[in-house]
Structure 1
Amino acid sequence: MLENSVQYWAAAVPQKTAVTLVIPGLNVRPDAMEPMVQLLNSGGSDVYLVCLPGLQLNEGPANAADASAWQHQVKAAYRVAREAAAALSLPLYFLGYSLGALLGQSALLSPGEGARFEKQVLLAPAMALRRRCYLLKAFIQFGRPATLPSFTPKGYRVHPFLPLSFYRVLFAEEQKLWSAGPTNRPTLVLMDPADELVSLRKLQKQVQRFGLSRYKLVLLNKRRGLSGNYHHLILDEASMGRENWEKAKKEITAFLFA
């Protein structure tokens, strides 16, 4: 086990059905993923939850992001989950939120030892960023300010401010993904059409362009007032509302475990 970098959550039923690797989003507390983890556990899946360097609760203020460190952490956690799945003769699944979803897709493209997931669930995947997000590139180019307030609501976030280098990694990973082309494997995508960071139209165009025929897109329409009106946050009942939460649980359970 990778100390302090991967959390293990055992299936909540005697008959195990899968092993799932889970990666949280940019500046999202690992424990904010617990409702999703528990949903997977209830379906019979063991879960390995990745804790990214610089985004853990026991760390100090966020320093510069290191893409290679994140990628190394993801690959190392993937190997642990893969070996566990092989030992139990179970399928290996993936669930990622926002940046976590993007890093999971990057892991699939890694030369030599690309990840292999039989199914994957992507929550508000940061793989089709809106044009407005690229305004941050102007800040990155000039290096001022050195940090920006986090978009993630308090209670879900690790740090109140993030260095610009974190966003630089985000842009670079998105570009790398679409330059190489994502893999066409069974994939469930859940997002809100009003997502502030991810463009539904751009994602649909990319799915069509790359012939991702095994992608299924499910839309969640959040009401105003939830999680500070932040539509990108879709992790639990509190952030998306009861109706959307029940819909998300039903879709994920049917997709992975039916």
Structure 2
Amino acid sequence: MAKILACSDIHNNLRAVRQLRSLEGNDFDALIVAGDIGSENTNEVFDLLQTFDCPVLYVFGNWDRRLGHRQKFGERCHHIHLSPVAVEGLNVVGESVDGIDPEWESLRLANDTGDPIAIAAARRKHIEQQRTELSTAVNAQRPERTIVVSHYRLTKTKAFLPDIPLFLFGHIHRFEDTTYRGQRFVNVSALDKKVIVAKKGLRAKQVGYRYINDGSYVIITHTERTGFAIDPRRFNPDFSGWDRIEGIFSSSATEVE
């Protein structure tokens, strides 16, 4: 049996990673991060994730644009962009659209004529080429035993990845588990999910807004007999004494201890 811990959208939130670490033990075969790690506390985030004592497999998201595709974060950390990693009879491979990609930077400079339309066309062509490389990498392994990870949900997968049973993604900060045309798509949700609150019974304008982090993640298990099972989990913090404030976000809010 393979057992995998998967999360996304950390957004530099070291405390959220510490919360995750306090909730789960060292019984995983791999830890997957579906992007938005954050470009500020990246080394500290990966140092914490590596304490799970298993490979840390990751792709980049829109919060990771300052991170290099070839940047190293530790012995156990693997950027799985177009690079499959074996995990207990499974293969895990990913696609990073964001981050500093040396191949795209070289192509961008070669096509930089000052015409934004030409640059956009070159970018689309580069991503199409990456999709072709992803398909080739998948087909070189066993597609029916492969997990594909991206930050944004992939589309038209039946056309270029027809035999993949499970896709993981993030970006949209809510858990989803859907099956479309025989393929399963799981949004592993956000480890950093701030809920704005105010002290119960008091007007927020009197005491100011606070936030409580209600992060979530998933645990994936796989067996030959039952296939993939997805177990969504949340931090489930204590909201007693606090009123949730819906529909707003306050950048000045401080976290409830």
TM-score of the two chains, using structure 2 as the length reference = 0.35
- Rg comparison, structure with higher value: 2
TM-score by length of 1: 0.35
> When you count helix as a share of all residues, which structure comes out higher?
1
* Richer in strand (by share): 2
